[in-house]
Structure 1
């Protein structure tokens, strides 16, 4: 090989190396032509026309009972005077509204514990007697069981309630600094406190709507009106069934509304169907 050819080859390789050094490496740099991942967007009802790529199909409307809105409006009309026992002597009337907030909340919880399987008139009278002794966490802890029993008698299951009140009050003192819990999960852990009481405590004491408070009245009436898909046996089943479809802005109202209606018109035995505005659209109405 001549010296001229060798020199020419060396010059070509040098130029090639120089040209390659001027091209930046693409390692680690994503290609611009690579497509971005598609994002699925779920539109609220009434938003989008469904033609956008990735849009979800519209959800089917939830089940709701027949005529429930008309039934509700008629019950509101029948409850317009607010003169049922629950309106005048219910839990929301039993505590000392001038007491410090912490004491007020404790009194709300105690009145709920006393109200279980007890008429509002009896609960109200028992709360008045307790308040005369200074109804606070400390006063209850200092009171002996016999005295507490004499004060709350004749509320239903008063002996058990003496035990539950003392146990719960001690827990409130030790664990919550004398206040009551502010979650349903913690409230139902207290002795003698069930789901209905917990949701009412959240509503009345903490001004928070955590769920529907279902007692025997609400349970009975919503089953009679077929406000549940299928008949429920227990109040807690009824609560779950109602919360599945009833608009949340009605949850606070529904308890006092139906409790009073159950006390005055839709009675457990011999309901006064002739006096009920819903007679023509109630599945359980006794028609002439």
Structure 2
């Protein structure tokens, strides 16, 4: 190792200097390259031993500080000397540019770096500059004003649904589970049937005993006579017996308290399920859409696009109509459809919405005649009048209309004579 001699004048001045290293600035003691010997200076190789002794005497330093100290010693030991002569060696060493040690941020382990990257990613996900996707809330034009007019026209509450609907067909003095069962039965009978006919059938059923046990004990013929003349009464007799047996076996004689459970019953659809939840369980689960609500919603333009069946209408209405109106909208539109907005030839001249309804004063579509009727396009088809319970068989009309071929033959016969 090269030993450099220095002048006594320069070495006496060295103890007054403070090293520029961050380690020596942190320490309160002044350490020079010459040490405590004023007569000469020791080479830079002695710095490692001093650092080692100091680490033994003081408290253990953090890992980042120890790495800085070791790096400082390595640079000081292996740095090439730029002094060409032996007289200015110590002075030239002091003039060497100071090497900046690594900071604690550079000495962080890989896990901290990865942690910082994850934080940056989270910050990017929560960037306020990215605007969220806005869903357009559609609602029909001027629907609140139209609904107010319908309420005004329905203020009398004198429509058939107000006096003979499902809310009026059960026995108010019966047990709770019996009342709920009677509500469900009245809803099943009301399909494709006027409220007056449904109310009369329910009155006969209640007099017979409209309970789960009595319906199961009643034979199909007797049950058919009780509910006649509701629409599709034979099919409804079968559904009533199947539903009652299912209620007795799976639900203990009560009706399900969910839409999913109600639609599992034979003959019960979404409209009946939502109405049963509202009337029997006092829970609003959806809008009960029948033919009146389906027709009027399309006429008023309350749907984004025209719908083809009541189930599509229900989904379209629930997208924009406030939930607090779901229970009211059924009886409002049903009574309005029974009195003013009729299926054929609606009374637009007395309707308060005639100036805002897009379907006002338009001709209703002609009703297609049933096959076999006098106005049917195929008069050659034969038909027979169905015999219903209670009808005298002698009154049956089983006449078959004369086909056009026979009519032409008769005409030719008359002409020949």
TM bin, normalised by shorter chain, reads 0.7 to 0.9
Partner in structure 2 of residue 44 of structure 1: none
Q: Distance in 2 between matches of 1:12 and 1:230?
A: 85
Partner in structure 2 of residue 254 of structure 1: 329
**1:221 paired to 2:296:** yes
Partner in structure 2 of residue 45 of structure 1: none
Higher relative contact order (CA 8 A, sep 6+): 1
Partner in structure 2 of residue 70 of structure 1: 145
Hey, which bits of structure 1, 4+ residues long, moved more than 2 A?
A: 8-31, 33-41, 52-61
Matches within 5 A, 1:81-230: 81-230=156-305
**1:23 paired to 2:98:** no
Residues 129/53 of structure 1: CA separation in 2 closer, same or farther (3 Å cut) = same
Q: Distance in 1 between matches of 2:168 and 2:308?
A: 30
> Per the alignment, in what secondary structure is the counterpart of residue 160 of structure 1?
helix
Residues 28/279 of structure 1: CA separation in 2 closer, same or farther (3 Å cut) = same
Q: Distance in 2 between matches of 1:18 and 1:125?
A: 106
| Residue correspondences, number | 274
> Per the alignment, in what secondary structure is the counterpart of residue 244 of structure 1?
helix
* Contact 1:168–1:191, Cα closer than 8 Å, also in 2: yes
Structure 1 unmatched runs, 5+:
1-7, 42-51
Residues 173/69 of structure 1: CA separation in 2 closer, same or farther (3 Å cut) = same
Partner in structure 1 of residue 4 of structure 2: none
- Which residue among 330, 334, 342 is the counterpart of 1:267? 342
Deviation at 1:246, TM superposition (A): 0.9
Residues 175/224 of structure 1: CA separation in 2 closer, same or farther (3 Å cut) = same
* Contact 1:90–1:120, Cα closer than 8 Å, also in 2: yes
Deviation at 1:20, TM superposition (A): 8.3
Partner in structure 2 of residue 4 of structure 1: none
Matches within 5 A, 1:51-70: 53=128, 56-57=131-132, 59=134, 61-70=136-145
* Contact 1:40–1:54, Cα closer than 8 Å, also in 2: no
Deviation at 1:151, TM superposition (A): 0.4
* Contact 1:211–1:251, Cα closer than 8 Å, also in 2: yes
* Contact 1:274–1:287, Cα closer than 8 Å, also in 2: no
Q: Distance in 1 between matches of 2:283 and 2:157?
A: 22
Q: Distance in 1 between matches of 2:142 and 2:48?
A: 95
Deviation at 1:55, TM superposition (A): 7.8
Q: Deviations over 1:64-92 (max 9, x none)?
A: 11221111110110000000000000000
* Contact 1:214–1:236, Cα closer than 8 Å, also in 2: yes
Partner in structure 2 of residue 245 of structure 1: 320
Q: Distance in 1 between matches of 2:180 and 2:130?
A: 48
TM-score (norm 1): 0.85
Q: Distance in 2 between matches of 1:138 and 1:18?
A: 97
Q: Deviations over 1:120-163 (max 9, x none)?
A: 00101111111111211111111111111110001110000000
> Per the alignment, in what secondary structure is the counterpart of residue 200 of structure 1?
helix
Q: Distance in 2 between matches of 1:141 and 1:162?
A: 11
Root-mean-square deviation over aligned CA pairs: 3.0
Q: Distance in 2 between matches of 1:40 and 1:28?
A: 23
Residues 101/12 of structure 1: CA separation in 2 closer, same or farther (3 Å cut) = same
Deviation at 1:53, TM superposition (A): 3.4
> Per the alignment, in what secondary structure is the counterpart of residue 131 of structure 1?
helix
Higher gyration radius (CA): 2
> Per the alignment, in what secondary structure is the counterpart of residue 283 of structure 2?
coil
TM-score (norm 2): 0.60
Residues 60/287 of structure 1: CA separation in 2 closer, same or farther (3 Å cut) = same
Deviation at 1:18, TM superposition (A): 7.4
* Contact 1:38–1:54, Cα closer than 8 Å, also in 2: no
